[in-house]
Structure 1
Amino acid sequence: MNQKDFNSLKEAINKKKPILVSGCLLGMKINYKEEGSLVEELRELLLHGKAIPVCPEVLAGMSTPRDPAEIVVVNGERKVYNNKKIDVTDLYNLGAERTLAAARTSGAKIAVLKSKSPSCGCGKIYDGTFSESLIDGDGIVTALLKENGIRVISEEDFLECIK
């Protein structure tokens, strides 16, 4: 995490500015396996009215559970395919647009999103082979939020920051 991300997070927490947070990190059972990944420190932000839960896949109308998906590059374009080789890029783009709308509506300038996800991954994502291999890159939502001036960090960076 760079110093600007660290400062933005600290400012948001201290000044009670809204922070977008992946719903699964708040314990909501909404990831592709219908599980959550509770980070207690993020849940505390929710309980104090600072966190705004989002799940791009749910916002796009995807079911829970759902088939796992990963990003691949096809002819220079980022696409999202599930493990059945079905192109689900449009749904992921819709979820990204709706997440950006939530950020704009709430005034959130920072987001803490689930690492490695094809939507929310920040810095590292799966390589598209469904082999659990990671590559450098951002998920569809993370890329869109960053393009629109919203700082995005992973839950690992969040935990490191609050230590």
Structure 2
Amino acid sequence: MERILVSACLMGRRVRFDGRAKTVDDALLAGWRAEGRLVPFCPEVEGGLPVPRPPAEIEGGVGGAAVLSGAARILTPEGSDVTRHFLSGAYSALALARSMGIRIALLKDGSPSCGSLRIHDGTFRGSVTPGAGVTAALLEADGIRVYGEDRIAEAAEYLGELEATL
């Protein structure tokens, strides 16, 4: 059975920066949960950040690949550099995925860790820009397909393709 790495906040865990969850009520997700496919994970908490914590964004909104290469940092509104926490969490997510043979992830879009299609632009004004977060970029670079919570049907289609080849 294919396992799916999933952002813990989407599963109702209160791990987001503001101490909240972003629970997704979706029949497919509920079915995967009942089947025991889901592996909840929060890279920010795993990387050592507390709950709650100050918000953080990738400087310049340049995306997770730039953070992975050392060309950008992740900062709080006060300018504190929290990059190392995000990198630690991303590499922990990758290690977990590899250890479990995970080939698909469902992550919270918009996050500096988990965003797959969009992230905040680094200005802390609520503006978003196309791009991936650090964890999403690292997983994708390793061949793990990453989907946001608004693309569960696409994730299900890919899951079907993976299982058809078993």
With normalisation by structure 1, the TM-score equals: 0.84
Deviations 1:38-77 (A, max 9, x none): 1133244223201000100111121011110000149981
Q: How many residues align?
A: 148
- Percent identity of paired positions between Structure 1 and Structure 2: 41
Please name the residue that 2:24 is paired with.
39
Q: How does 1:1-163 map to 2 (within 5 A)?
A: 16-41=1-26, 42-73=29-60, 77-159=71-153
1:12 paired residue number: none
Structure 1 letter corresponding to 2:52: P
Tell me by how many angstroms 1:161 deviates: 5.8
* Deviation sequence 1:109-144 (CA, Å, 0-9, x none): 000000100000011100000001111110000010
Give the secondary-structure state (helix, strand or coil) at the position aligned to 1:20: strand
SS of the residue corresponding to residue 114 of structure 2 reads: coil
Report the equivalent of 2:160. none
- Structure 2's unaligned 5+ residue stretches are 158-166
Post-superposition offset of 1:25: 0.2
Flag structure 1 segments of 5+ consecutive residues without an equivalent: 1-15
Q: Deviations over 1:23-50 (max 9, x none)?
A: 0000001111111111133244223201
> TM-score, normalised to structure 2's length?
0.83
- Aligned mates of 1:160, 1:39 — CA distance in 2: 15
Paired residues of 1:23 and 1:55 also in contact (CA < 8 A) = yes
The residue identity in structure 2 corresponding to 1:37 is K
Give 2:135's aligned amino acid: V
* Gap change, CA 1:31 and 1:44, over 3 Å in 2: farther
Q: What is the distance in 2 between the residues matched to 1:160 and 1:109?
A: 14
Q: Give the match's secondary structure for 1:141.
A: helix
- CA distance in structure 2 between the aligned counterparts of 1:159 and 1:80, rounded to whole angstroms: 31
Higher relative contact order (CA 8 A, sep 6+): 2
Q: Distance in 1 between matches of 2:19 and 2:153?
A: 23
Distance 2:155 2:46 in 1: 28
